[in-house]
Amino acid sequence: MVDFNLNYGPAEIRSYLRVAGWAPVSGGDVAELWTLPGPADEVVLVPMKPGAPDFTKRARILVQDLARVESREAQAVHDAIATVYHDVTDLRASHPSLTDGSIPLESGYELFVSAKRLRVASAAATIRRQGHYRNFPTRARAQAREVRLGQTRRGSYIVPIISQARAPEDVYSPRQDHIDVAVEETLFDRRVTATMSRALGILEEMAAAEREPTKSEINDSIGEGVSYELCQALTKVVNTESVSTLDVSFNWSRVAAPPPGTPAQVEFNREAIDIVDRVSDHLKTKAYTSEHVIYGVVTDLSRHPEDDNGRVGVQTLIQRRSRTVWMHLPDADYHTAVRCHDAGVPVRVRGSLTSPPGGQARMSVVDFGPDPSLGPDS
């Protein structure tokens, strides 16, 4: 039997089985039986008492049974259960010389540091769209302390970034009149990963084009989360002597739908990095401008029949505290706000924010719509 340390409990096991097509058929407080419909009529036992003396033994037997049914390694099944509530972003450094699963110290150092840089830059863009930050928001810097790194893996050299994810249907309800601060804090990780995926996808598209990106295209990329700091995180790795290609794979939690429009994988070789460097140079010299981004639920709607605009209140987190931000929306956006309110769909709003202490928070809106971070239903 493969020996691994269990770092999950019955909740993770049951969630994994459910998304893999299994269903409970009987059981109680101590254990449950789950079956997988099909010709083989597979049945597994799920231990339900983490404090029981035989819990670890029973869980390992379960993992072995699942590995047999799924025809893959037990360690892979174990890792999938352990991260069922998490998104895993794999950074893989490649070079023809990296054949033994090791990497030169300097290149490895840059890979680990760039994992932090990518995450913090993406967190900053999740809060505020800006071409060059100079000083990151405090909440963005905290990302480096909150996400985890998994064990490095063979396959050239892979560093996994593990971050939290939550299924939106578990946390929002129709006509919701407030946000849950703890839930919003948890969802910030998923929103950062979605921002990173979209921003890197935009950079890859610009690098793969048969022409130089225009200044207008580079400026537009800021709205998708591209920044000087994000570009530099890629450049620092690929420009090391022993790395020729960096690819980033996004393995979304199986209990939370992947954000729509996000690439599953992006890749940057040295030719692509030449374009990224040019984008980076433009962003570094761009005039200091920024747009805030807020996420939350529509809690207030007000509009007279003869008005062109409607007044909307969105409850969100500002400096990790719950605040209602007021905004005036044109007809189409107002109807979107009504639909999101009635369906319990969270929203993302981008624009110029003023939030004086003790005063009313207001936003001049550039973009309003359902939060694209949480899957196609959001």
Question: Are 200 and 265 part of one and the same domain?
Answer: yes
The strand pairing partners of 163, in sequence order, are 87
Question: Are 159 and 306 part of one and the same domain?
Answer: no
CB 328 within 8 A of CB 310: yes
Question: Are 14 and 128 part of one and the same domain?
Answer: no
Note the pLDDT of residue 254.
87
Count: domains in the chain: 3
Find the CATH number of the domain harbouring 317. Answer: 2.40.50.140
Say if 127 falls within a structural domain.
Answer: yes
Question: Are 72 and 221 part of one and the same domain?
Answer: no
CB 263 within 8 A of CB 302: no
Note the pLDDT of residue 47.
95
> Cβ of 317: how many Cβ atoms within 10 Å?
19
Q: Please report which confidence band the pLDDT of residue 155 belongs to, taking 50, 70 and 90 as the band edges.
A: confident
Domain boundary among 40, 56, 82: 82
Question: Are 185 and 240 part of one and the same domain?
Answer: yes
> Structure pTM?
0.89
Say if 5 falls within a structural domain.
Answer: no
Say if 307 falls within a structural domain.
Answer: yes
Query: For the segment 65-83, what is each residue's pLDDT rounded down to a tens digit?
Result: 999 999 999 999 999 999 9
Q: What domain range includes position 61? A: 10-82
Note the pLDDT of residue 287.
63
Strands of 143-263 (E only): list them.
148-149, 157-164, 245-251
CA distance 70 to 68: 6
User: What percentage of residues in the chain have a pLDDT greater than 90?
Assistant: 70
Structure tokens at 169: 């249907």
